Structure 1
């Protein structure tokens, strides 16, 4: 049994104009110690997926169907009281902006100690000792001093390390990291990513990394899911997706990486933009932006086709597989 298993997850938002579907047909599993990358542009549904796992969706959002099984227990069906024993304890989440995560009127120590006391029956002195230990783990200099400082007294990189330390406080089984380095410069980004990778490997923690950067995914994860308009469109081993992307959208993301353009050359980009939830096109949601669009793409939602070790939701890939199989049969007959 997988540590985390998501089956046919569907998330909707109720608006005045009617309900819209933010996630549909989401299926994946996460093993202990595994690292999964979730990739896509803004609006693809990556963060909604992260929030859904811990049922942190704000109204009017809600889980409309499917299961989120953690060690066989369905998180989607749990009461808020039952979820409190899992949130921040067995499953931690690292959010995009540390200044939005940390309470500006409490010291770092107060926030870490209160978190520990909420989940463990230990003394305040023991809680402080564990907090200092976790700050050391994330390479915070002079942790005994930093623990009594307020968030505004620390740099962006330091605050992000503290958010990671808070995520590790309860020795969780899973960390969901939602764009954990968005607000940081490139040098600090690399340090934070190396730190997270090292901590996950040493503690056998499963990592679900939500990002728009395929470069980070290639370095950090073993499995990857590419999302578009609330649906998974390509899923499989990270190396296979990076080296031989099948879906035209994944190919577009790969070609948009800065290293894919020559010095002085204009960067590649996917034409158009992600459709709003109220106006997702019929058929394949990517069809208005796709260079390989066929008639079926405009009318039929593509199912998944197995290509190597990956699952791909694309009519073109399905047709190519059929043609390859027909050619192979013809060779056998001859």
Structure 2
């Protein structure tokens, strides 16, 4: 059994005009020590999926259906008190902006000690010792001095290292990292991701990495999910998806990488933009932007307009696409005719 199993997760936001579905039928799993990437454009539902795991969705958002099982325990039905024993303890989260996460009026040491004492019955001295050890693990220079400094006295990269140290304080089984390097420059981003990968491998910690950077995903994760308009549209081993993407949206994301364009020419881009969740197109939500709705012979795939695609298996990957289903079906026909 997987450490984390998410099945048919449905998250909605109750608005005046009616409920808006932010996540639809999201399913995935995570084994102990495994690294999973979740990618997609802004508005795809990546962060909502991450926040749902710890029930951190702000009202009027709520989990409308589905299951989140962690180590055999159903999280969606836990009381707030019971959930606090999981949140921050066995499942930790690294947020995008460390300055929004750290309390500006408390020293780094005070915040780390407070976190430890909220979950363990230990003395302040013991908690401070553990905090110092974690700061050393994330390779912060002069960790003893940093414990008595305030967040504004640290650089952006050092603040993010502090956040990672706090996430590791209670030796969690899973770390959820929501675009952890967004606010950092490129060289610091590489250092932080290398550090996070090293720590996860060393301590056998599962990692869920939320990002729009396919380059980072390809280097850090073993499996990946591609999300679009609140739904998973492709999933499988990272290397296979990067090398041979099945869904047209995934192909578009990879082709949009700067290294995929001819030097001196315009960057490739997916036409159009993500649809509003309150007004999704019928059928496949991606079809208004998809160049494969029309076949090579000029005919149109009507199913793209009319039916939400089901997942089909291609190699070790799954893609929710009518074109992929059609291609797989056409490959099977000759073999069946020979039989």
By how many angstroms is 1:262 displaced?
A: 1.9
Give 5+ residue unaligned stretches, structure 1.
none
Structure 2 match to 1:173: 173
Structure 1 match to 2:80: 80
By how many angstroms is 1:235 displaced?
A: 0.5
By how many angstroms is 1:265 displaced?
A: 1.4
Task: Point out 4+ residue stretches in structure 1 off by more than 3 angstroms.
Answer: none
Q: Which moved more, 1:103-112 or 1:262-271?
A: 262-271
Mapped partners of 2:224, 2:307: distance in 1:
25
Mapped partners of 2:160, 2:269: distance in 1:
30
By how many angstroms is 1:328 displaced?
A: 2.4
Mapped partners of 1:328, 1:128: distance in 2:
67
TM-score, normalising length: structure 2: 0.97
TM-score, normalising length: structure 1: 0.98
Give 5+ residue unaligned stretches, structure 2.
294-300
CA deviations on 1:148-181 (whole Å, 9 max, x unpaired) are 1111111100101100000000000000000000
Is 1:299 aligned to 2:298, yes or no?
Answer: no
CA deviations on 1:23-51 (whole Å, 9 max, x unpaired) are 01111110000000000000000000000
How many residues end up aligned between the 2 structures?
Answer: 332
Structure 2 match to 1:268: 268
Is 1:120 aligned to 2:120, yes or no?
Answer: yes
Mapped partners of 1:167, 1:259: distance in 2:
34
RMSD: 0.7
Q: For 1:40-119, what aligned pairs fall within 5 Å after superposition?
A: 40-119=40-119
Mapped partners of 1:7, 1:72: distance in 2:
13
By how many angstroms is 1:329 displaced?
A: 2.4
Mapped partners of 2:152, 2:178: distance in 1:
22
By how many angstroms is 1:323 displaced?
A: 0.3
Mapped partners of 1:49, 1:74: distance in 2:
16
Q: Which moved more, 1:90-99 or 1:255-264?
A: 255-264
